[in-house]
Amino acid sequence: MANTNTITIQRRVQWMDTDAAGIWHHSVVIRWLEEAEADLHRRLGVSDRTFGATPRVRTEFTFATSVQFDDLVDVTLTVSALGETSITYHLEVRRGTTAVASGRVIAVLIDRETGEKRPWPDDLRQLLAP
């Protein structure tokens, strides 16, 4: 069975993503994560039900090296766990074979009206579970 809950996208470090140290600003990793997440959820046909309904409760990133303007990176996002109401992503960013950054992000599904946590509906659970 094909693994539906992982995705790799390619991105370039843009000029706006750099800072006066001459390299990327580390916060760009959050943009890349969300762009991979959007592509993954679109492919699964669930982005209209998940985006804006899965606030982050925890983010962790480790940075191994820096990248520069115009560098090309592979951004791999994988669903690593699905709890009663939570989803955990694992992120890897590589430039060629060089590890740039890795991360773990935990979000929870909420009811958009009340803002309260709610269990994953069965169909979303089946699509997103690792």
Instruction: Provide the binding-site residues for a second copy, judged by CB under 8 A.
Output: 12, 14-16, 18-23, 25-27, 30-31, 34-35, 38, 42, 47-48, 51-53, 55-63, 66, 68-70, 112, 115
Closer residue to a second copy, CB minimum distance, 1 or 64:
64
Q: How far is the CB of 97 from a second copy (least distance, A)?
A: 19
Cβ-based burial of 61 (10 A; exposed 0-12, middle 13-18, buried ≥19): middle
Closer residue to a second copy, CB minimum distance, 58 or 121:
58
Q: How far is the CB of 115 from a second copy (least distance, A)?
A: 8
Q: Which residue has the tokens 């989803």?
A: 87
Q: How far is the CB of 5 from a second copy (least distance, A)?
A: 19
Type of residue at 105: V
d(CA 106, CA 60): 9
d(CA 32, CA 27): 9
